[in-house]
């Protein structure tokens, strides 16, 4: 088990590992660009090498990239739809260059098309991410694989946001891999999102039940990263609001039981809790582990 947090790339992506180390992180997550959009700037090999060297210097384990917030693989607007596909593909390419372990993405909303059509379009979008460009020397192959895994993040399900049930996540993985090939997708399990979408994680009995259910529907081995966040929102409220560890509705008992439940799987846990106390949150987790 390694514990870390989301850090800024201010001043350049190669500055992020030192920032993570200063907090005492053992792994970390970043945005490779502004999460709100704007011009995408490719990362050159020199910067990528410096980034890798910094990770090694500070003995940091895995690094994860998070896609921008505007992703919607079920949008009826072609600019957003194809922009989302290309943004996720870009992140996978960057992640391969940086030696990252995963790219975390939200999936999008059914508000344009309704649930049935949106789900179909979303799976088509996931498949298009892995399509080999016709200009490529590998164009004989229809789909490509990246060294980095694409991780579908469980959502809180506010509005018509998709990916808030274990069944939906399982079907997106199954339908996509049926076309593209096995074992290309993983899951980022966000505790605050799962709690807000109706999966209780606040005490010993219910935590075990929730992960048993996840294992049955999706498969526990699909979890490649945990966003360990307390929830400021109530159970089943479908409101996405993170709280500092022990200060929300999941509470310290729930967080401790989640760690106990998952410790045998050798996972990375990344905090996205409110910034004021995130350093203290990290120390709480490291105290549990060590």
- Per DSSP, the residues of 154-212 read P----TTBS--SHHHHHHHHHHHHHHH-SS-EEEEEEHHHHHHTT---SSHHHHHHHHH
Rounded Cα gap, residues 28 and 6, in angstroms = 6
Predicted confidence pLDDT, tens digits, the chain (290 residues): 999 999 999 999 999 999 999 999 999 999 998 888 777 778 999 999 999 999 999 999 899 999 999 999 999 999 999 999 999 999 999 999 999 999 999 999 999 999 999 999 999 999 999 998 776 666 667 899 999 999 999 999 998 999 999 999 999 999 999 999 999 999 999 999 999 999 999 999 999 999 999 999 999 999 999 999 999 999 999 999 999 999 999 999 999 999 999 999 989 999 999 999 999 999 999 888 65
Number of C-beta neighbours around residue 1 at 10 A: 18
What is the predicted pLDDT for the residue at 137? 63
- The whole-number pLDDT of residue 39 equals 72
Q: What is the CATH number of the domain that holds 52?
A: 3.20.20.150
Vertex 152, ends 255 and 109: CA angle to 5°?
Answer: 105
Maximal C-alpha separation, the chain: 54
> Among candidates 48, 55, 65, which has minimal Cα distance to 20?
55
Q: What was the pLDDT predicted at 136?
A: 63
Residue-level pLDDT at 289 = 61
Q: Domain count for the chain, please give it.
A: 1
Which residue range(s) make up the domain with 44? 2-289
CB 68 within 8 A of CB 32: no
CB count, 10 Å around CB of 113?
A: 17
Cα separation, 127 vs 109, whole angstroms: 17
């Amino acid at each position: 088990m390694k514990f870390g947090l989301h850090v800024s790339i201010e001043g350049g992506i190669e500055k992020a590992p030192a920032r993570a180390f200063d907090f005492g992180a053992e792994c970390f997550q970043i945005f490779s660009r502004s999460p709100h959009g704007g011009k995408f700037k490719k990362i050159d090999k020199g910067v990528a090498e410096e980034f890798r060297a910094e990770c090694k210097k500070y003995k940091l384990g895995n690094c994860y990239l998070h896609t921008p917030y505007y992703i919607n693989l079920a949008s009826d607007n072609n600019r957003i739809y194809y922009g989302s596909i290309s943004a996720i593909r870009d992140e996978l390419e960057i992640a391969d260059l940086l030696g990252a372990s995963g790219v975390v993405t939200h999936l999008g909303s059914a508000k344009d098309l309704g649930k049935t059509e949106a789900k179909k379009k979303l799976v088509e979008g996931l498949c298009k991410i892995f399509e080999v460009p016709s200009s490529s020397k590998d164009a004989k192959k229809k789909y490509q694989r990246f060294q980095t895994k694409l991780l579908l993040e469980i959502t809180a399900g506010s509005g018509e946001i998709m990916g808030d049930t274990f069944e939906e996540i399982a079907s997106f993985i199954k339908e996509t891999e049926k076309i593209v090939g096995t074992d290309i997708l993983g899951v980022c399990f966000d505790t605050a999102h799962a709690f807000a979408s109706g999966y209780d994680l606040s005490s010993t009995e219910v935590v075990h039940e929730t992960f048993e259910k996840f294992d049955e529907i999706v498969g526990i081995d699909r979890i490649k990263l945990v966003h360990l966040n307390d929830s400021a929102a109530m159970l089943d409220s479908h409101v996405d609001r993170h709280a500092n560890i022990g200060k929300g509705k999941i509470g310290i008992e729930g967080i401790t039981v989640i760690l106990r439940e998952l410790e045998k799987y050798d996972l990375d846990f990344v905090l996205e809790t409110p910034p004021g106390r995130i350093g203290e949150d990290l120390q709480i987790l490291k105290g549990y582990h060590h």
